[in-house]
C-alpha cells in the first residue's frame, strides 16, 4: 500500500525480455534504500513492483504480462524517468490517499499550460474509468496522488504546484505522453458493493437499468 507522495525519481537502466515477460533494472536516485529488503514493494510510476535484486542505488523487478498489458511499461525505454515510492509504514504521514499500485488504465496527456506559478495538465482517461472520477476527488497519475480539479466526461484537469513538477516526472509531460492511472479504490469497492447479491453472478455491472431497478434512478 502507498500514499501517492513521491519520494524520488529514478531511471530505467536496462530492459531485458525474459521468458515472455520483462525484467527491469532501475536506478533509484535519492531514494533511501537502507531499509529495503528482497521482496519489498516499490511503486514505480504507480505500479507496485517487487524487488527481486538490489545493490546500492538500484533494484531489479520482474514485470508480468498482466503488468505489461495494463500499464505504460509495455512501451518503456532505457533512460526513462520514473516516480518512486516505497510501501508505506504504519507510522508514515498519510499525505496523499490510499494507493494500491494496481493500474486501472492508461491515460493520454492532452495539454500542459502555465497558470501563474502552477501548471494545468489535461488528461484523457479511458471511457470506462470516467464513472470513478469526481471533481475534487483523488486520482493517481504515474504514482502521484492528485486532485481532479475539473472533470469533463473522461477528461480531467490537474493543477500542479512547482514542487510537484520538480520532484516527479510530470515535468517531462507533453501532449501525447501516456500515463498510468489508478482510480480511488473506495469508488471501486462502492461500485461492487452496490451490486449486492448480484455480485456473485458473472456479467453483472452497474448501468442505468440496474440503478432504475433498484431505486437509485427513475
Contact 145, 5 (CB under 8 A): yes
In whole angstroms, give the CA distance from residue 109 to residue 120: 11
Banded pLDDT at 213 (limits 50, 70, 90) = low
pLDDT computed for residue 208 by the predictor = 57
Looking up cell 507533453 gives: 174
pLDDT computed for residue 201 by the predictor = 76
Rounded mean pLDDT, 139-157: 97
Q: Is the pLDDT of residue 2 over 60?
A: yes
Percentage of the chain modeled with pLDDT above 70: 92
Q: Is the pLDDT of residue 112 over 90?
A: yes
Q: DSSP characters for 143-171?
A: TEEEE--EEETTEEEEEE-HHHHHHSGGG
pLDDT computed for residue 209 by the predictor = 63
pTM, rounded to two decimals: 0.88
In whole angstroms, give the CA distance from residue 94 to residue 39: 23
Q: Is the pLDDT of residue 138 over 90?
A: yes
- Taking alpha carbons only, the member of 19, 80, 91, 17 closest to residue 47 is 80
In whole angstroms, give the CA distance from residue 57 to residue 28: 5
Instruction: Write the DSSP symbol of residue 64.
Output: -
Banded pLDDT at 205 (limits 50, 70, 90) = low
pLDDT computed for residue 196 by the predictor = 78
Q: Is the pLDDT of residue 21 over 80?
A: yes
Architecture of the structural domain at 8-86: Beta Barrel (2.40)
In whole angstroms, give the CA distance from residue 62 to residue 44: 12
Mean pLDDT for the chain?
92
Banded pLDDT at 216 (limits 50, 70, 90) = low
Banded pLDDT at 95 (limits 50, 70, 90) = confident
pLDDT computed for residue 217 by the predictor = 59
Domain 8-86 and domain 105-183, same fold? Reply is yes
- Taking alpha carbons only, the member of 188, 8, 155 closest to residue 86 is 8
CATH code of 105-183, in short, is 2.40.30.20
pLDDT computed for residue 80 by the predictor = 97
pLDDT computed for residue 132 by the predictor = 94
What ranges do the domains of the chain cover?
Answer: 8-86, 105-183, 185-218
Alpha-carbon distances, residue 126 vs 71, 154, 155 (angstroms): 12, 7, 9
Rounded mean pLDDT, 86-105: 90
* 175-195 pLDDT per residue, tens: 999 999 999 998 888 888 888
Amino acid at each position: 500500500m502507498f500514499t501517492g507522495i513521491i519520494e524520488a525519481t529514478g531511471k530505467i537502466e536496462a530492459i531485458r525480455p525474459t521468458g515472455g515477460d520483462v525484467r527491469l533494472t532501475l536506478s533509484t536516485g535519492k531514494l533511501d534504500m537502507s531499509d529495503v529488503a528482497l521482496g519489498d514493494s516499490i511503486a514505480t510510476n504507480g505500479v507496485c513492483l517487487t524487488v527481486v535484486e538490489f545493490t546500492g542505488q538500484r533494484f531489479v523487478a520482474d514485470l508480468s504480462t498482466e503488468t505489461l498489458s495494463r500499464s505504460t511499461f509495455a512501451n518503456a525505454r532505457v533512460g526513462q524517468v520514473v516516480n518512486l515510492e516505497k510501501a508505506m509504514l504504519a507510522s508514515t504521514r498519510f499525505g496523499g490517499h490510499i494507493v494500491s499500485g494496481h493500474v486501472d488504465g492508461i491515460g493520454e496527456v492532452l495539454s500542459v499550460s502555465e497558470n501563474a506559478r502552477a501548471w494545468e495538465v489535461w488528461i484523457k482517461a479511458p471511457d470506462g474509468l470516467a464513472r470513478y472520477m469526481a471533481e475534487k476527488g483523488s486520482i493517481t497519475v504515474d504514482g502521484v496522488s492528485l486532485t481532479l480539479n475539473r472533470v469533463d466526461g473522461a477528461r480531467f484537469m490537474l493543477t500542479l504546484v512547482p514542487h510537484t513538477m520538480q520532484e516527479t516526472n510530470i515535468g517531462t509531460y507533453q501532449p501525447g505522453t501516456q500515463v498510468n492511472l489508478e482510480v480511488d479504490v473506495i469508488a471501486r469497492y462502492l461500485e461492487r458493493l452496490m451490486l449486492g447479491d448480484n455480485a456473485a453472478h458473472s456479467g453483472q455491472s452497474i448501468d442505468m437499468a440496474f440503478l432504475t431497478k433498484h431505486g437509485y434512478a427513475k
